[in-house]
Amino acid sequence: MKKKTLFIVIAVIIIIAIIAGIVLFVNKKPVENNLNITSAEDMGNLVDQIYSGLEETIPSSLNTVKLELSNIDLVKTYTGLDSTEGIQDIVVSEPMISSQAFSLILVKCENATKADEIAAKMNESVNPNKWICVSAEKVYSTSSGDVAMLVMASEDWAKTVYDKFKELAGSVGNEYERNGF
């Protein structure tokens, strides 16, 4: 009799756990954000908002450009990505001339799941030693809604820009970081 009762209790616990998992999975909503990004121009404006108030903290002479998705070699150089599948636009901001490593990348994706996937892949694959004489000390990336972002630079610059993105976004998905050297 005790074995039968124990079996029933375990079965009920397993069923409750399965139902709870299904409810959590079904009710999982994509990360809501404040960004409202629909174009590369919107991403360029977001870059300007990120830099606003940080002029004394980050490098000067930053240049923001939209990458041509058809040029996969250029995309790989800036982002570490081998494919542009599921990507709508990429905007990169770097100093035109500098002896400091700094790169901010924004990627507009087809959906929030793809944005998180891109943020993780960029963090893993981007080359923090891509400059001739300097290397990025820290690499941070995350996503908010359908926008993935990555910043790599000295730890102070990278953290400042990363925190400003998170503040503007309102909420972010998974956060990724690694040392650059």
Residue 5 or residue 52, greater confidence:
52
For the segment 82-105, the average pLDDT, to the nearest whole number, is 91
Reported as a pLDDT band with limits 50, 70 and 90, residue 48 is very high
Q: Is the pLDDT of residue 26 over 60?
A: no
- Tokens 């069923």 belong to 15
On the question of pLDDT at 19 being above 80, the answer is no
Give the domain ranges of the chain: 1-30, 33-179
The upper half-sphere exposure of residue 19, i.e. CA atoms within 13 Å in the direction of its Cβ, equals 6
Locate all alpha helices (DSSP H) within 27-152, ordered by sequence.
40-51, 72-79, 112-125
Is a pLDDT exceeding 90 seen at residue 12? no
Q: Look up residue 20 and give its two tokens.
A: 């709870």
Measured distance CA(138)–CA(174) in Å, rounded: 17
pLDDT average, residue stretch 110-138: 93
Local confidence band at 29 (pLDDT 50, 70, 90 cut-offs):
very low
Q: Whole-model pTM?
A: 0.80
Counting other chains too, the contacts that 78-83 makes at CB distance below 8 Å and 24 or more residues apart are 78/103, 78/105, 78/126, 79/105, 79/107, 79/122, 79/125, 79/126, 79/150, 80/121, 80/122, 80/124, 80/125, 80/126, 80/127, 81/118, 81/121, 81/122, 81/125, 82/125
Percent of the chain exceeding pLDDT 70 equals 91
Closest CA to 154 of 100, 106, 78: 100
